[in-house]
């Protein structure tokens, strides 16, 4: 019965032949014994294995030891065969020679196999040919009875991997046949059969893949053809839809032209009737007719008739609708900005436009007036703030707010002593300049929320209103945040629309969503709330602080008792939102302006309009001079009204 060994073979080689050692080791351990041979008996095996593993590999020569190491000795003992990679390098290696000699002394000389990779077998005996020996001495000779090499030559079993000899494939098969103990021809025949079977298998797979790819190509072509057909049908449907749409558009265009013609005829009929009513002295009927016209059709004739029918003392027309206005401290001059890039300076006493400036790249948005002199500040989309002198209309200074991206300057405010100018922006920052030095005095990074309103509480305190219902006060001279108050969020963008300080300076009114919140300045707590049924856009205190007037989105004006928080009156005098409310001198009445294009004056003890003024276009802003004698209304034109005469 054949002995079983731990290793199928021991590979012995010079470290200079490591490349051959790697190749041989890999090919031996990956070789699969043919299936019809596995399990059969051979010279060295009772049952041939599936694979020749493991193989022991002497990776390096022992350079210092005088004897083979114990590991090498054990490996030789437990190896079925010894394979020697033969080359001039291994022929000169004492360690390869000792491994062969040791293996022979174990009685396994018939299990030594050689792989010739370089040099010449028995080349030392052919010196006349100049060939180098490839066999170590222990390979060339048999052992004597004393266990040493004799003079009797041996007959090594070798596979010759050299070009022109067995070459690598056959040399490998010879070694494997020797390891298995079977004939080379038998193994080569089996290997050839296996290669043919493998080739047939791969050819079958390739043919199957080719057939599949052909089928997929045919299917894809059919799908593409179907898709093209569907696309053509879709294009045809689209063309039909476009033709139907064009026809419908033409029909609508004809109908629109007819409708427009009817509107124009109706407009001119109303203009003619209004002109007749003015000649009769029936101004109220004339105004009703004029305001009943289509706003898109109104032109200079409409404005002339409206001016003749109302009681404003002067009307000045501008190229752009006017959105903001402010009065000088002495009440003699006004500055206006519109939805366009223009800023205009008005002589209030004579009703004359003094100066006008245009900023092509800077749409002006906010405006403020100094409380102590005839100076104004304006700001626009480009982040620049301009300080103006009135009545000359000259720019005194410019300030760069250094805003970036979509940040917009949202409000301006002068300090009570007129020494500082504050600018609020949608980036949540308050920029404060010293007007004496012209330099930035303080930058307050107050909140990530957008600022919508600003006002000074004193010479060193400022308060800001934000979206999301937040109000915060600061000592702007130190930059310290003082107090903060957050209203209940009733809307995704519940901004604080307006902030007004009471005449006493003790109460701050905040217009927020559907409420007026009264805040005690000292404690910064809400003391009273005035609930509304519509969004509150604006508010104003009477001169004695006892009444608050509010303007709402539904067109109503609401009068409130600040002491009891009772609603005194609700006046439904407008068809659109009330943008601003202002009290008359001594609290006798209140004036309201609306996007419906009207400015109304109301008595506090009546729900009926005491005076009614028709203003061309939707009113954007209204302001009253410091002496409470003249009102400026801003729409597509500016109207000056003598309030003292009309109150």
Q: Residue 296 belongs to what domain range?
A: 209-309
Torsion of CA 303, 309, 310, 313, to 10 degrees: 80
- Give the span between the Cα atoms of 186 and 189, in whole angstroms: 5
Question: What is the CA angle 579-417-523, rounded to 5?
Answer: 70
Beta-carbon contacts of 246 under 8 Å, excluding residues fewer than 6 positions away, are none
- Which of 309, 343, 360 is the endpoint of a domain? 309
Both 224 and 94 in a single domain? no
Both 168 and 259 in a single domain? no
Burial 67-90 (b: 16+ CB within 10 A, else e): ebeeebeebbeebbbbbbbbbbbb
Strands of 157-160's sheet in order across: 55-57, 9-12, 82-86, 112-116, 157-160
Both 245 and 125 in a single domain? no
Both 48 and 105 in a single domain? yes
Q: Is residue 536 one of the residues assigned to a domain?
A: no
Rounded to 5 degrees, φ, ψ at 167 are 65, 175
Both 145 and 258 in a single domain? no
Residue carrying the six token digits 């990679």: 85
Counting the structural domains of the chain, the total is 2
Both 167 and 87 in a single domain? yes
Both 224 and 162 in a single domain? no
Nearest to 612 by CA among 347, 291, 351, 275: 291
Q: What pTM did the predictor assign? A: 0.48
Q: Is residue 289 one of the residues assigned to a domain?
A: yes
Both 219 and 148 in a single domain? no
pLDDT confidence of residue 374: 81
3-class SS letters over 522-580: CCCEEEEEEECCCCEEEEEECCCCCEEEEEECCCEEEEEECCCCEEEEEEECCCCCEEE
Both 161 and 276 in a single domain? no
Rounded to 5 degrees, φ, ψ at 296 are -70, -20
pLDDT digits 0-9 by tens, 201-221: 777 787 788 888 888 888 988
Can the peptide bond before residue 379 be classed as cis, meaning omega within 30 degrees of 0? no
pLDDT digits 0-9 by tens, 117-170: 999 999 887 767 778 999 999 999 999 999 999 999 999 999 999 999 999 999
Q: How far is CA 159 from the centre of its chain?
A: 70
Nearest to 20 by CA among 131, 114, 92, 135: 114
Q: Is 86 helix (H, G, I), strand (E, B) or coil?
A: strand
- Give the span between the Cα atoms of 327 and 334, in whole angstroms: 4
Q: Which two tokens stand for residue 175?
A: 């070694």
Rounded to 5 degrees, φ, ψ at 457 are -90, -30
pLDDT confidence of residue 598: 63
Both 139 and 259 in a single domain? no
Q: Is residue 37 one of the residues assigned to a domain?
A: yes
- Give the span between the Cα atoms of 159 and 81, in whole angstroms: 14
- Give the span between the Cα atoms of 233 and 413, in whole angstroms: 65
Q: Is residue 239 one of the residues assigned to a domain?
A: yes
- Give the span between the Cα atoms of 317 and 596, in whole angstroms: 18
pLDDT confidence of residue 603: 67
What is the CATH classification number for the domain harbouring 158? Answer: 3.40.50
Both 164 and 244 in a single domain? no
- Give the span between the Cα atoms of 12 and 18, in whole angstroms: 10
Q: Is residue 72 one of the residues assigned to a domain?
A: yes
Q: Is residue 302 one of the residues assigned to a domain?
A: yes
- Which of 282, 309, 336 is the endpoint of a domain? 309
Cα 496 to Cα 156, 173, 443: the distances in Å are 105, 94, 21
CB 175 within 8 Å of CB 164: no
Q: Which residues of the chain have pLDDT under 70?
A: 1, 58-68, 127, 300, 307, 310-324, 327, 331, 334, 338-342, 348-365, 402, 404-406, 490-493, 573-574, 585-588, 596-601, 603-647
- Which of 247, 279, 309 is the endpoint of a domain? 309
Q: Is residue 31 one of the residues assigned to a domain?
A: yes
Rounded to 5 degrees, φ, ψ at 617 are 85, 165
Q: Is residue 613 one of the residues assigned to a domain?
A: no
- Give the span between the Cα atoms of 550 and 570, in whole angstroms: 10
Both 170 and 214 in a single domain? no
Half-sphere exposure of 281 (CA within 13 A, CB side): 0
pLDDT confidence of residue 315: 53
Query: How many C-beta atoms surround the C-beta of residue 254 within 10 A?
Result: 10
């Amino acid at each position: 019965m054949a002995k079983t060994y731990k290793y199928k073979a021991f590979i012995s080689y010079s470290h200079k032949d490591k490349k051959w050692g790697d190749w041989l080791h890999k090919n031996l351990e990956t070789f699969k014994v043919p299936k019809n041979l596995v399990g059969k008996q051979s010279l060295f095996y009772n049952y041939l294995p599936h694979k020749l593993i493991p193989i022991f590999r002497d990776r390096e020569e022992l350079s210092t030891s005088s004897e083979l190491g114990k590991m090498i000795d054990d490996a030789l003992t437990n190896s079925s065969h010894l394979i020697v990679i033969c080359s001039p390098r291994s022929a000169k290696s004492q360690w390869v020679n000792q491994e062969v000699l040791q293996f022979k002394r174990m009685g396994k000389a018939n299990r030594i196999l050689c792989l010739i990779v370089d040099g010449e077998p028995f080349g030392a005996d052919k010196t006349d040919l100049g060939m180098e020996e490839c066999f170590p001495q222990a390979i060339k000779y048999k052992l004597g009875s004393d266990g040493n090499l004799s003079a009797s030559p041996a007959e090594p079993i070798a596979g010759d991997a050299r070009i022109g000899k067995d070459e690598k494939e056959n040399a490998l098969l010879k070694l494997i046949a020797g390891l298995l103990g079977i004939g080379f021809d038998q193994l080569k025949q089996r290997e050839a059969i296996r290669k043919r079977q493998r080739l047939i298998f791969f050819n079958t797979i390739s043919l199957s893949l080719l057939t599949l790819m052909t089928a997929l190509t045919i299917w894809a072509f059919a799908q593409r053809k179907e898709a093209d057909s569907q696309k053509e049908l879709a294009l045809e449907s689209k063309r039909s839809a476009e033709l139907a749409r064009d026809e419908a558009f033409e029909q609508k265009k004809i109908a629109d032209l007819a409708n427009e013609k009817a509107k124009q005829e109706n407009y001119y009929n109303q203009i003619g009737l209004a002109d007749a009513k003015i000649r009769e002295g029936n101004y109220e009927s004339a105004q009703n007719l004029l305001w009943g016209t289509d706003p898109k059709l109104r032109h200079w004739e409409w404005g002339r008739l409206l001016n003749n029918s109302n009681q404003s003392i002067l009307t000045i027309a501008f190229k752009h609708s006017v959105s903001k206005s402010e009065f000088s401290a002495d009440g003699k001059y006004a500055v206006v900005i519109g939805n366009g890039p223009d800023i205009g300076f008005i002589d209030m006493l004579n009703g004359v436009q003094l100066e006008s400036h245009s900023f092509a790249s800077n749409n002006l948005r906010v405006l403020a007036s100094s409380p102590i002199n005839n100076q104004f500040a304006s700001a626009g989309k480009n982040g620049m703030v301009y300080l103006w002198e009135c009545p000359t209309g000259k720019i005194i200074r410019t300030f760069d707010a250094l805003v970036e991206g979509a940040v917009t300057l949202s409000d301006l405010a002068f300090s009570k002593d007129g020494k500082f100018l504050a600018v609020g922006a949608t980036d949540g920052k308050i920029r404060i300049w010293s007007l004496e030095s012209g330099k930035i005095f303080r930058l307050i990074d107050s909140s990530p929320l957008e600022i919508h309103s600003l006002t000074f509480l004193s010479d060193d305190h400022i308060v800001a209103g934000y979206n999301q219902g937040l109000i915060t006060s600061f000592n702007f001279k130190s930059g310290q945040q003082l107090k903060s108050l957050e209203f209940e969020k009733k809307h995704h963008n519940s901004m604080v629309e307006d902030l007004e300080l009471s005449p006493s300076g003790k109460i701050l009114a905040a217009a927020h969503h559907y409420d007026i919140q009264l805040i005690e300045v000292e404690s910064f707590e809400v003391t009273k709330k005035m609930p509304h049924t519509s969004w509150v856009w604006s508010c104003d205190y009477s001169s004695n602080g006892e009444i608050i007037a509010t303007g709402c989105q539904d067109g109503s004006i609401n009068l409130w008792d600040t002491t009891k928080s009772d609603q005194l009156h609700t006046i439904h005098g407008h068809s659109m939102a009330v943008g601003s409310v202002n009290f008359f001198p001594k609290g006798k009445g209140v004036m309201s302006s609306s996007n419906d294009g009207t400015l109304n004056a109301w008595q506090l003890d009546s729900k009926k309009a005491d005076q009614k003024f028709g203003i061309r276009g939707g009113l954007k802003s209204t302001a009253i001079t410091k002496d409470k004698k003249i009102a400026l209304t801003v729409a597509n034109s500016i109207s000056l009204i003598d309030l003292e005469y009309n109150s």
